Amino acid sequence: MNHSADLPGPNSTDPYERRTSPANWAAVLLFLGTAGWLIAGQEQVRHQEARLASVLSQFFLGTGTKWEQGTSIFVFGLGTHHVQGLNITFGCSTVLLLVPLLLVAGGFAITGRARPGRLLVVLAVSSLLLIGVNAVRLVGITGFTLHWGMKGFGWSHTVLGSLWVLFGLVGTLVLFVRWVTGGKKGGGRTGARRNGRRADRGRGGRHAPAGGRTAGHRRSSGSRKKGRRKAGSPITAREHGQIQ
């Protein structure tokens, strides 16, 4: 007997199927637009990063600093014989960290895997984390340069700073995904199906197993199995007559 599987077709109306709502599409446009704005306005972003790094360096390192207004440069070591400056280029900017995060958020929104409101909140928190990661890097470069000159700058900028930013970006993306999905394996669709099965059991219903095998088919299969005897078992005279 052939049994056909009840597989969802292209026009399936699965109640658990994810659909991209208008709000999700609006979130996608918002995230992509923000990413484009950051890239187009990266110069202004770098100016503010230099300003922030100047304030933080003075607070944590105790060195005199000054932000050159309207530029991405700040000087440090004021009041000493070793005044130096740091120019924040595009490669050192937080823009390169925020754009991948926005693209990931857009991916969640376009697939309907998360509500736009939750995405916005998690995105805001994750963005602050990345801004903090890069700010720590800039303060670290300033401190290394103060104490070890250009050698310290080379190590803190090329090696330690790059590793710090890499781990910070990966860690933030992992946290972002966990926060968006609620830390559940399988995403919202698995949870929805599980809840649906619980609701059906509460109503006394029964799901047909995969492959279209119904409860009646299981009973008929069980009846055939009961009729089979083990190899080598004796056959009574009555059963021998039925076989003939």
Model confidence pLDDT, tens digit, residues 214-227: 444 445 445 454 44
Range of the domain at 105: 22-189
Tell me if 237 is assigned to some domain.
no
29, amino acid identity: L
DSSP letter for 62, please.
-
Q: Is residue 197 part of a domain?
A: no
**Mean pLDDT computed over 187-200:** 50
Residue 200: what are its φ and ψ, rounded to 5°? -65, -40
Pairing of the two strands 84-87 and 64-67: unpaired
Q: What's the pLDDT at 113?
A: 86
Q: Can you tell me the distance from the alpha carbon of 140 to that of 23, in angstroms, rounded to the nearest whole number?
A: 41
Would you say residue 180 lies in a domain? yes
Residue range 34-53: mean pLDDT, rounded = 97
Average pLDDT, the chain: 80
Please name the helix (run of DSSP H) or strand (run of DSSP E) that holds residue 238, with its range, or none: helix 237-243
Check: CB of residue 76 under 8 Å from CB of residue 84: yes
The answer to whether residue 94 is domain-embedded is yes
- Identify whether 175 is part of a domain: yes
The tokens of 241 are what? Answer: 């007559």
Residue 15 lies in a domain: no
- pLDDT at site 81: 87
d(CA 86, CA 161): 14
Q: Domain for residue 196, yes or no?
A: no
Does residue 64 sit in helix, strand or coil? Answer: strand
CA distance 79 to 75: 11
- On whether residue 138 sits in a domain, the answer given is yes
What are 130-145's pLDDT values in tens digits? Answer: 999 999 999 999 999 9
Mean pLDDT computed over 103-127: 95
Asked whether the beta carbons of 95 and 45 are under 8 A apart, the reply is yes
Give CA–CA dist 82/52, Å, rounded: 21
pLDDT of amino acid 126: 98
Q: How far is CA 24 from the centre of its chain?
A: 16
pLDDT, tens digit, 9 for 90 and up, residues 55-103? 999 999 999 999 999 999 999 999 988 899 999 999 999 999 999 999 9
Kindly state the percentage of the chain with pLDDT values over 90: 63
User: Does residue 198 have a pLDDT over 60?
Assistant: no
Q: How many domains does the chain have?
A: 1
- 6-15, 51-60, 152-161: range with lowest mean pLDDT: 6-15
pLDDT band at 205 (very low <50, low <70, confident <90, very high): very low
